[in-house]
Structure 1
Amino acid sequence: MFGSSILEVAIGVIFVYLLLSLICTAINEAIASLLQKRGKNLFEGIKNLLNDPTFTGLAQQLYNHGLISSISQHAVDPNKPTRKPSYMSPENFSLALLDILGIRGVIAARYGDLLAQAEKADDAYETARQAAAAMPGNSQLAQAAELARQAQAQARAALETIADKAKAAYEAALQAANQADGNTELAAAATDAKMKADQINATLKMLDARRAAIASAKNPREAALLLNAGATLREALEFGRTIAAQYPDPLGNIQEGLKRLPEGNTKESLLVLVDKTRREVKAIEHQAEAFRKNLEGWFNDAMNRVGGWYKRWTQQVLFGLAIIVVVASNADTVMLIQRLSQDNALRASLVAAAQDAVKSQPSPKSAESASPGAIPAGESEDTRIQFVLEKARNLQLPVGWSGNPTDPGYFQPPRLSLEFASWALYKLFGLAISIFAVSLGAPFWFDTLSKFVNVRSAGTPPGETKKSAPQPT
Structure 2
Amino acid sequence: MSLLTIFEIFISLIFAWLVLSIAVMYIQEWIGGRLHLRAKMLETHIRNFLSDPALAEQFYEHPLIQSLHTGNDQRTLKRPSYIPPRMFSLALFDILIHAGQESSILQREIQRLRPVIEKLQKDEKARAEAQFRLVLTAARKAVNTHAGEAALQNAVSNIKMELEHLARIHPALQQAVEQTLSRVEISARDVDTILAGIQAERQQTGGSETPSAFEQIQEGIAALGATNPQLKQALESLFLGIQKGDQALGEARDRVENWFDSGVERLSGWYKRNAQKMSLVIGLSVAIVLNADTLALIQALWREPLIRQTLSSQAQALVAQNEDGLRPMTAEQLAALQLQFSTLNVPIGWVGTPLPADSQGAVQMVDTSYKKCTLWPQSSIDYYGLQIGRLCYPIINAPAPNDPTGILLKLFGLLASGLAAAQGAPFWFDILKKTVNIRTSGANPSEPKG
For the aligned pair, the TM-score class normalised by the smaller chain equals 0.5 to 0.7
Cα–Cα, structure 1 residues 356 and 219, in superposed 2: closer, same or farther, change >3 Å? Answer: farther
Indicate the structure with greater strand content.
2
Distance 1:259 1:386 in 2: 60
* Conserved? CA contact 1:49–1:302, under 8 Å: no
Residue of structure 2 in register with 1:256 after alignment: 219
Q: How does 1:316-327 map to 2 (within 5 A)?
A: 316-327=277-288
Could you tell which deviates more after superposition, 330-339 or 389-398? 389-398
Distance 1:236 1:387 in 2: 53
Q: Which residue identity lines up with residue 235 of structure 2 in the other structure?
A: L
Residue deviations 1:277-313, cap 9 Å, x none? 54xxx8x333323332322221122122333443344
Residue of structure 1 in register with 2:314 after alignment: 353
Residue of structure 2 in register with 1:272 after alignment: 237
Distance 2:114 2:333 in 1: 43
Cα–Cα, structure 1 residues 460 and 229, in superposed 2: closer, same or farther, change >3 Å? Answer: farther
Q: Which residue identity lines up with residue 251 of structure 1 in the other structure?
A: F
Residue among 99, 106, 128 paired with 2:94: 99
Residue of structure 1 in register with 2:397 after alignment: 410
Distance 2:144 2:421 in 1: 51
Residue deviations 1:428-453, cap 9 Å, x none? 11111111111222232233323323
| Residue correspondences, number | 337
SS of 1:219's equivalent? helix
Could you tell which deviates more after superposition, 3-12 or 386-395? 386-395
Give the Å deviation of 1:421: 1.9
Give the Å deviation of 1:398: 4.4
Residue of structure 2 in register with 1:300 after alignment: 261
Residue deviations 1:127-166, cap 9 Å, x none? xxxxxxxxxxxxxxxxxxxxxxxxxxxxxxxxxxxxxxxx
Could you tell which deviates more after superposition, 354-363 or 41-50? 354-363
Residue of structure 2 in register with 1:334 after alignment: 295
Could you tell which deviates more after superposition, 219-228 or 445-454? 219-228
Cα–Cα, structure 1 residues 51 and 3, in superposed 2: closer, same or farther, change >3 Å? Answer: farther
Cα–Cα, structure 1 residues 230 and 316, in superposed 2: closer, same or farther, change >3 Å? Answer: farther
1:287 paired with 2:251, answer no
Q: Which residue identity lines up with residue 110 of structure 2 in the other structure?
A: A
Residue deviations 1:29-60, cap 9 Å, x none? 222333233322222222112222xx212x12
Residue of structure 2 in register with 1:73 after alignment: 70
The TM-score with structure 1 as length reference comes to: 0.61
Distance 1:94 1:335 in 2: 56
The TM-score with structure 2 as length reference comes to: 0.64
Residue among 237, 246, 255 paired with 2:144: 237
Residue deviations 1:154-197, cap 9 Å, x none? xxxxxxxxxxxxxxxxxxxxxxxxxxxxxxxxxxxxxxxxxxxx
Give the Å deviation of 1:338: 1.9
Q: How does 1:61-460 map to 2 (within 5 A)?
A: 61-74=58-71, 77=73, 80=75, 82-104=77-99, 107=100, 203-219=101-117, 222=129, 225-226=132-133, 228-239=135-146, 249-262=212-225, 266-275=231-240, 278=243, 284-361=245-322, 363=325, 387-395=333-341, 396=344, 397-401=346-350, 410-415=397-402, 420-460=403-443
Tell which has more relative contact order, 1 or 2 (C-alpha 8 A, sep 6+).
1
Distance 2:395 2:312 in 1: 21
Give the Å deviation of 1:209: 0.7
Q: Which residue identity lines up with residue 7 of structure 2 in the other structure?
A: L
* Conserved? CA contact 2:352–2:395, under 8 Å: no
Indicate the structure with greater helix content.
1
Distance 1:327 1:363 in 2: 29
Percent identical pairs in the alignment equals: 32
Distance 1:97 1:434 in 2: 48
Cα–Cα, structure 1 residues 241 and 313, in superposed 2: closer, same or farther, change >3 Å? Answer: farther
Cα–Cα, structure 1 residues 86 and 426, in superposed 2: closer, same or farther, change >3 Å? Answer: same
Q: Which residue identity lines up with residue 205 of structure 1 in the other structure?
A: S
Give the Å deviation of 1:326: 0.7
Could you tell which deviates more after superposition, 387-396 or 42-51? 387-396
Distance 1:223 1:73 in 2: 20
Cα–Cα, structure 1 residues 428 and 358, in superposed 2: closer, same or farther, change >3 Å? Answer: same
Q: Which residue identity lines up with residue 11 of structure 2 in the other structure?
A: I
Give the Å deviation of 1:23: 1.3
Q: Which residue identity lines up with residue 411 of structure 2 in the other structure?
A: L
Distance 2:134 2:10 in 1: 57
Residue deviations 1:75-100, cap 9 Å, x none? 7x45x364322232222212211222
Q: Which residue identity lines up with residue 435 of structure 2 in the other structure?
A: F
SS of 1:275's equivalent? coil
Q: Which residue identity lines up with residue 412 of structure 1 in the other structure?
A: P
RMSD, matched Cα: 3.6
Could you tell which deviates more after superposition, 61-70 or 21-30? 21-30
Give the Å deviation of 1:207: 2.1
SS of 1:56's equivalent? helix
* Conserved? CA contact 1:216–1:226, under 8 Å: no
Give the Å deviation of 1:391: 3.8
Cα–Cα, structure 1 residues 213 and 364, in superposed 2: closer, same or farther, change >3 Å? Answer: farther
* Conserved? CA contact 1:323–1:435, under 8 Å: yes
Distance 1:68 1:466 in 2: 69
Q: Which runs of 5+ in 2 are unaligned?
A: 119-125, 150-208, 354-382, 384-393
Cα–Cα, structure 1 residues 83 and 403, in superposed 2: closer, same or farther, change >3 Å? Answer: closer
Residue of structure 1 in register with 2:38 after alignment: 38
Residue deviations 1:243-262, cap 9 Å, x none? xxx95632232223223334
